[in-house]
Structure 1
Amino acid sequence: MSKPAFVLVALSLIACTDDGAANVTTGNVDTSADASDTQMDTDAASGDETGGGGSESGSEDAEAGDGDGDTGEELPQWAKLIRSDPYPRLVIELDSTPGFEARAEVAEDIVTLFSGMLDKPAGIEIVWDDEITPKGDGAWTPADRSQAASEHRNLEIPDDAVKVHVMFVDGHAAEDEEMSGAILGYAWGSTIMMFKDTIQSNCMAAILGPLQDQLCREAEYLIWAHEFGHVIGLVDNGLPMVEDHRDPNPDHGDHDANADCVMYWAYSSTDALDSILDRLINMQPPVEFDDACLADIDAAK
């Protein structure tokens, strides 16, 4: 599919300075190097959404194409995404259904968040790329999700970069029809699908008034951060744990036992909205990655 001019390679690069401030620049991603799209090792990231909201359970094959370059060794996915060597740069390829794009401010907040967590001295870039064909009120089945990833994961990146693919879509997850709640996001391999239509409709129905837009924004941010956490190997999803903090309930999959952590099992479904709304009403800070998750990441660097 040809890329429309208004979304073609608009890039946001945010790199943290020594004092923690964020420098923001715009431009085109540098693909002057001989960028390659080779198969990424995804053994550490299959079936990362089990129980709770989403449930991939390894049903979708991991995608090819992450610009590994020729390092002479095969690293697990979490190592490629967290460490500076051999990939000092992380590119987030962002595709969307027209009208259901990611909020620009949320995208920047995600870059800022993970710039402070991952060891990527050359920065983290978001490249707004393809348009995804609208689904309407249709359901995204596992086969549909895999097909979309295969079709749209096409951004070439430099040899010193590793890539995560994120799709914001309309429609809803097919599994919603079998659940009491709705799924807001899925992660498999190094791909994320965000059900923006579902996020918007549910947060707008949850409350009226001035808190509505803030709820929608915080929900989009939390779900994106949660799914990105799975992609980098949390919790016990390939990334080794310094101390055991995995939810002991086997139905909750690779999630944190701490309800105040981004990686809690409920934070990929509409169950997240109750928590966010309660925090907003009581003027509490947003949910963050807990110390156990941060310790796992730091130990992997």
Structure 2
Amino acid sequence: MKSSQYLTFLILILTIALGCSDDDTTTVPETNENAANQQPLGSSAAELLSSEDFTSMRVEIAYPQGFRPTQQTLDLLLPFLEERLDKPDGITMVESIITTDETGPYDINEIVAIEDANRTVFNNGDELGVWLFFSDERSEGDSGNSVVLGSAYRNTSMVIYEKTFIDIANNSTTPVNRTLIETSTIRHEFGHIFGLVNVGTPDLSAHEDLDNLRHCNVEDCLMYFQTVTNSFNTSSLESIPDFDDLCIQDLQANGGL
């Protein structure tokens, strides 16, 4: 089946897998000067959410030439973060155009290698650093009619498989709102580095989906396991779900807004 035919078929049956559960990387030795940003997923949830240790945050938006997300996607990111993070000294974003030396499709070890070779924003004094990589290759986890759109894999690191978004948008026979699916995926993955669900931010009540760990069992929550899949069924940015009340209560109890 040719690529364009495959992607059209994919849109129709819409089986989207978020790579959230199996991509944790191991802790690095503390002698590494950047070790604080290379810890397990969820371990910096309180630091991200509260102002106790870090009063500001800087997000590095990294992408190879030609794989920048839409401007509207970037415009929507900052207010989303400001709504939930207690950072009185502000949240800023810096863009980095990088070169990748790995061969795709990427497994998580290759994603880590790209980060380690290119990341420039780390924790610095009272400023916490986050790495957000928009990939120029698809995920090795793609299989059959299922594709991986994004993965949070370290305490302050995530990857968005931008090539997959571009391929879907360019080859679908029906209109696809690329900003909507990018934004849904980014927000969902940020939810994971915020420690949701039950991965660094404790549950105040039992709402983890035990069949889809690290996800919320409330269907209209941002952290529901099919949130991004459902985004393909609409063209409205206003339809992107927010954290439900149970997730918000967990975030606030761990220092968030």
Shorter-chain TM-score bucket reads 0.7 to 0.9
Taking structure 1 as reference, are residues 67 and 77 closer, same or farther at Cα in structure 2, changes over 3 Å only? closer
**Following the alignment from structure 1 to structure 2, what is the Cα–Cα distance between the partners of residues 292 and 203?**
33
Q: How does 1:198-277 map to 2 (within 5 A)?
A: 198-208=164-174, 211-212=175-176, 215-249=177-211, 252-267=212-227, 272-273=228-229, 275-277=230-232
SS of equivalent to 2:235: helix
What is the aligned length? 231
User: Shift in Å at residue 262 of structure 1?
Assistant: 1.4
Match of 1:61 in 2: 26
Letter in 1 for 2:254: A
1:279–1:286 Cα contact (<8 Å) kept: no
TM-score, normalised to structure 2, is 0.80
Q: How does 1:30-69 map to 2 (within 5 A)?
A: 52-54=17-19, 57=22, 60-62=25-27, 65=34
SS of equivalent to 1:144: helix
Could you list the runs of 5+ residues in structure 2 that have no partner in the other structure?
Answer: 1-15
Residue 153 of structure 2, aligned match among 159, 175, 188: 188
2:152–2:189 Cα contact (<8 Å) kept: yes
**Following the alignment from structure 2 to structure 1, what is the Cα–Cα distance between the partners of residues 239 and 46?**
30
Residue 90 of structure 1, aligned match among 48, 54, 57: 57
Taking structure 1 as reference, are residues 132 and 232 closer, same or farther at Cα in structure 2, changes over 3 Å only? farther
Taking structure 1 as reference, are residues 164 and 88 closer, same or farther at Cα in structure 2, changes over 3 Å only? same
Q: Judge which range, 215-224 or 288-297, deviates more.
A: 288-297
SS of equivalent to 1:280: coil
User: Shift in Å at residue 207 of structure 1?
Assistant: 4.7
Taking structure 1 as reference, are residues 207 and 300 closer, same or farther at Cα in structure 2, changes over 3 Å only? farther
**Following the alignment from structure 1 to structure 2, what is the Cα–Cα distance between the partners of residues 286 and 165?**
23
List per-residue Cα deviations over 1:230-268 (Å, max 9, x = no partner).
01101111101121111121xx2211112211111134x
**Following the alignment from structure 1 to structure 2, what is the Cα–Cα distance between the partners of residues 180 and 164?**
31
Question: Could you tell me the percent identity over the aligned residues?
Answer: 22
Tell me which of the two structures has the higher relative contact order, counting C-alpha pairs closer than 8 angstroms and 6 or more residues apart: 2
Letter in 2 for 1:83: S
Q: How does 1:22-171 map to 2 (within 5 A)?
A: 52-54=17-19, 57=22, 60-62=25-27, 65=34, 76-133=43-100, 138-155=104-121, 158-171=124-137
Taking structure 1 as reference, are residues 234 and 182 closer, same or farther at Cα in structure 2, changes over 3 Å only? same
2:205–2:246 Cα contact (<8 Å) kept: yes
1:66–1:164 Cα contact (<8 Å) kept: no
User: Shift in Å at residue 202 of structure 1?
Assistant: 1.8
Letter in 1 for 2:134: F
User: Shift in Å at residue 130 of structure 1?
Assistant: 4.2
User: Shift in Å at residue 52 of structure 1?
Assistant: 4.4
SS of equivalent to 1:188: strand
SS of equivalent to 2:60: strand
1:132–1:169 Cα contact (<8 Å) kept: no
User: Shift in Å at residue 124 of structure 1?
Assistant: 1.0
SS of equivalent to 2:166: helix
Moved runs in structure 1, 4+ residues, more than 6 A? none
**Following the alignment from structure 1 to structure 2, what is the Cα–Cα distance between the partners of residues 149 and 66?**
13
**Following the alignment from structure 1 to structure 2, what is the Cα–Cα distance between the partners of residues 216 and 134?**
26
**Following the alignment from structure 2 to structure 1, what is the Cα–Cα distance between the partners of residues 125 and 114?**
24
2:102–2:114 Cα contact (<8 Å) kept: no
**Following the alignment from structure 1 to structure 2, what is the Cα–Cα distance between the partners of residues 58 and 200?**
23
SS of equivalent to 1:139: coil
Match of 1:10 in 2: none
**Following the alignment from structure 1 to structure 2, what is the Cα–Cα distance between the partners of residues 194 and 277?**
16
Q: 1:298 aligned to 2:252?
A: yes
2:53–2:126 Cα contact (<8 Å) kept: yes
SS of equivalent to 1:114: helix
SS of equivalent to 1:119: coil
Match of 1:26 in 2: none
TM-score, normalised to structure 1, is 0.69
2:57–2:92 Cα contact (<8 Å) kept: yes
Q: What's the Cα RMSD here?
A: 2.6
Letter in 1 for 2:151: Y
